[in-house]
Structure 1
Amino acid sequence: MTITKTTYGKLPAIQINSPDGAQAIVTLYGAHLVSWKTRDGKERIFVSSQSSLDGSRAIRGGVPVIFPQFAERGDGMRHGFARVSHWREGASRTIGGDAYCEFDLDAGDLPPGIAAAWPYGFALTLRVTVGAESLQLSLDVRNTGNERFDFAAALHTYYLVEEGAGAKVTGLEATPLVVGDKIDRIYRHIGAPIGLNGMKLEQAGFRDAVLWNPGPADAAKLADLGDDEWRRFVCIEPATVDQMPLLPGETWSGRHTITA
């Protein structure tokens, strides 16, 4: 295993290399996974060619960490502040053929404006584990304060879809879905694995799954998405869309495992 400090665009980042040759890159801005290559060297994650990679705004693509609210379902900023905060590199280790690195964020890391708008004691840890043919993202949310807070969470994963292949999704509806235009659906109470073009997606802790692609009309309104790039990804995100309570001293954990 090697853990290497690098840059992605203008952003400080960590590159994780597993003993089997797989690789992931995570920016400290947002603890945002921006690349995952299996041991065959194949990229599995989409990032827009037009995305800002200087910390001025959220990255378009990769795996944004959504916390403490989903979309506009709350009083704070859209999709929360975790994806636009500066995280710290934490522990790293090799276990068998897998390698992981952790990323940490707590209330003391927030700028004053955000901290004032969400004045709760919390600590987040994202663990990124890379194997030869698998990626696991584990998110822990801890209440370190003296009062309850309510939160939502998601790992907004943008999967790269090869040109002309389309996105065939199984496990969410009675028949397979082929995503070729705008789609925005929430599926509740996910238990069984989801399939995407031969990959298996499993989740635990997250109650819901969100399937999203902007389609051509909405994509044209997004300044950080290139022409026709909507054809090259589909988002399937493990999520708990509705706010849930966390009492002082409690920890919630959500896990997302992708097997190619």
Structure 2
Amino acid sequence: MPLNIFQDKDGLPRIILTEPKGSSAEVLLYGGQIISWKNHRKEELLFMSSKANKKQHKAIRGGISACLARFGDLSSLEQHGFARNRMWSLDRDPSPLPPLDNQSSVDLILKSTEVDLKTPCSFEFRLRISLNAGKLILIPRVRNTANKAFSFSFTLCNYLSVSDISEVRIEGLETLDYFDNLLNRSRFTEQADALTFDGEMDRVYLHSPTKIAIIDHEKKRTFVLQKKGMPDAVVWNPWGKKAKAIPDLGDDDYKIMMCVNSAAIDTPILLKPSEEWMGYQELSTVSSSYCSGQLDPRKVLYGFH
């Protein structure tokens, strides 16, 4: 499908993806960031901060963005990511990925530069974003173009729109070990049958399943996150006190958002010269009733469509 590219009122080049069922996605070339994903009912599925700074040279808080960092940099994931602060280009040669005839998609590329001291090494970072009915698919690829190996950590940061954070539950992370970034990365084992929120949370769940369900009871909607090549999952919500301290986040925004991120953090991704790493993330939504209780885990958490 042809791409619709235009500059918005902030002067940022923007790509609009649409598909026949009526859903849409908006992608900024700056940061390679997805700032909107709407279903066929025109309901926004991604969260965007009420104080989002849409000026260039600063990542926008919200949507979906890719963070690539030197392995061993254990500072907040929200502070990671030179890729989120660079202008990407359209990738005219996305090989070896095949063209997609039945999906609306865009291929982006970001190449390292000699003057960019924040990059981990010489590389090519490619990102395919594809929109299908009820699905948003991201395929990140990083190729080592240097003559020496390097390692890095990676995350796709997904800001999801929810009705009320206190009414949301996450299924699929039970019994897993996790690092708690609020307690100096102390390691614990998840004891709850499902993850719920009653305060600030910043955790890295290790060796998480290929599918995770985020159930929003009030909206009767479930996000299904499917991922490959990114074994960890990050769950983050700043809650009230921390939200007030974040300049580009509204004081009450924490109530209607959450981050559930696909990540490779605990074990580095190591690339030898000319090697390429590829990940995969698929976000989809299914209807779920407040009265239905847990969804069928065989269908949501383990079954592949």
TM-score (norm 2): 0.77
Q: 2:225 aligns with which of 187, 201, 226?
A: 201
Report 1:110-189 matches (<5 A): 112=115, 115-118=116-119, 120-163=121-164, 166-174=167-175, 175-189=193-207
Q: Do the aligned partners of 2:157 and 2:260 also contact (CA within 8 Å) in 1?
A: yes
- CA displacement, residues 135-188 of structure 1 (integer Å, 9 cap, x when unaligned): 111100001111111111110100001257732211111511222421111111
Do 1:72 and 1:78's aligned partners in 2 also have CA atoms closer than 8 Å?
A: no
Does the 8 Å contact 2:32/2:87 carry over to 1?
yes
1:8–1:235 Cα change, 3 Å? farther
CA distance in 2, matches of 1:164, 1:151: 32
Rounded Cα–Cα distance in structure 2 between residues aligned with 1:192 and 1:147: 31
Are positions 1:249 and 2:274 aligned together? yes
2 CA distance for matches of 1:124 and 1:225?
A: 28
How big is each residue's C-alpha offset from its partner over 1:15-39, in whole Å with a ceiling of 9 and x where there is no partner? Answer: 1112322111111111001101122
How many residues of Structure 1 are paired with residues of Structure 2 in the alignment?
253
C-alpha distance in 2, partners of 1:210/1:105?
Answer: 24
Does 1:3 pair with 2:3? yes
Residue 249 (structure 2) pairs with residue 225 (structure 1): yes
Counterpart of 1:234 in structure 2 is: 258
Aligned to 1:42: 43
Counterpart among 89, 104, 109 of residue 104 in structure 1: 109
CA distance in 2, matches of 1:173, 1:44: 25
Q: Which runs of 5+ in 1 are unaligned?
A: none
The 4+ residue runs of structure 1 with deviation greater than 6 A are none
CA distance in 2, matches of 1:185, 1:145: 33
Higher deviation after alignment, 180-189 or 248-257? 180-189
- Structure 2 residue matching 1:147: 3-state secondary structure: coil
Contact 2:166 2:198 in 1 (8 A): no
Cα distance in 2 for residues equivalent to 1:30 and 1:147: 26
Larger Rg: 2
Aligned counterparts of 1:256 and 1:53: Cα–Cα separation in 2 = 25
Residue 30 of structure 1 is matched in structure 2 by 31
Aligned position for 1:95: 101
Residue of structure 1 equivalent to 2:19: 18
Farther off after superposition, 240-249 or 163-172: 163-172
Q: Distance in 1 between matches of 2:136 and 2:166?
A: 22
TM-score scaled by length of structure 1? 0.90
Deviation of 1:55 after TM superposition, in Å, equals 1.3
Q: Does 1:66 align with 2:84?
A: no
Q: 1:99 to 1:209 in 2, by over 3 A?
A: same
CA separation in 1, counterparts of 2:117 and 2:65?
23
CA distance in 1, matches of 2:255, 2:230: 27
For residue 187 of structure 2, what is the aligned residue in structure 1?
Answer: none
RMSD: 2.2
Sort the Cα spacing of 1:119 and 1:259 in 2 relative to 1 into closer, same or farther, 3 A.
closer
Contact 1:67/1:82 (<8 A) preserved: yes
